[in-house]
A = this chain, B = another copy of it.
């Protein structure tokens, strides 16, 4: 087998499973090659993946060591993801009644979701999360893609108690957008007590839902180590949570003029 074939295969295998550690032996056996040879291949693979700036390969030493692929996004690429999201949000025909915007096509498009997840993965990789937590429904895709890039399981907080969730813990909270008390529930099996979670959601207005997620997580002894939202509404300025990272800010939605303000969060990294 030629070096370029081995290097190509290493790049593919690692890219396909971000954050998963592969031992050198794995590649030695797969390619029927000596360790010294695989070491050189990995060095070449490291240089190869740097070209696209969408990830890098890291070596972990020690008995449980090996190599892993870490998702990355350049500032330039992140900016283009942010700008493209703003541009989409500004499309006139997204405006629904009551100042709402239709965003399902954005939040359910794997390519768009991937870009947002790459931003969250870069921003929060070192937060030390054991889980990615979100609330149903529209935040699930971006949460799942972030979880895929960080190789972490997802916790989905439900609006209603379901029999298939087993024993659950529920709380009532004020979503903020209305004065109506709402309910959320989490399966007691969703996560190991004492672990930590990164909250990822698609949209935040007053922060009521995010505060609720943090509260219900604390009820099952999960600590929140960060919060990322794809879109944060500028108003109300006073949110129920203070520590959150939006990809873009959504400003005024003018139904009459059919105009939408949206700006990237320039302090994302």
A residues engaging B (CB < 8 A)?
1-13, 15-17, 20, 30-31, 41, 44-45, 47-49, 51-52, 54-55, 96-98, 100-105, 108-111, 113-114, 136-138, 140-141, 144-145, 147-148, 151-156, 158, 163-166, 187, 189-190
Contacts and interface: CB of A to CB of B under 8 A. Distances in A.
A4 B114 contact: no
Given A140-B137, A151-B110, A9 B51 contact: yes
A41 B2 CA distance: 12
Contact of A163 (B98, B144, B147): B98
B7 A48 contact: yes
A103 B2 CA distance: 44
22 contacts: A6-B48, A7-B7, A8-B47, A8-B48, A9-B11, A11-B12, A12-B12, A12-B48, A12-B54, A13-B54, A16-B54, A16-B55, A96-B163, A98-B163, A102-B165, A102-B166, A102-B187, A110-B144, A110-B151, A110-B153, A137-B156, A144-B145
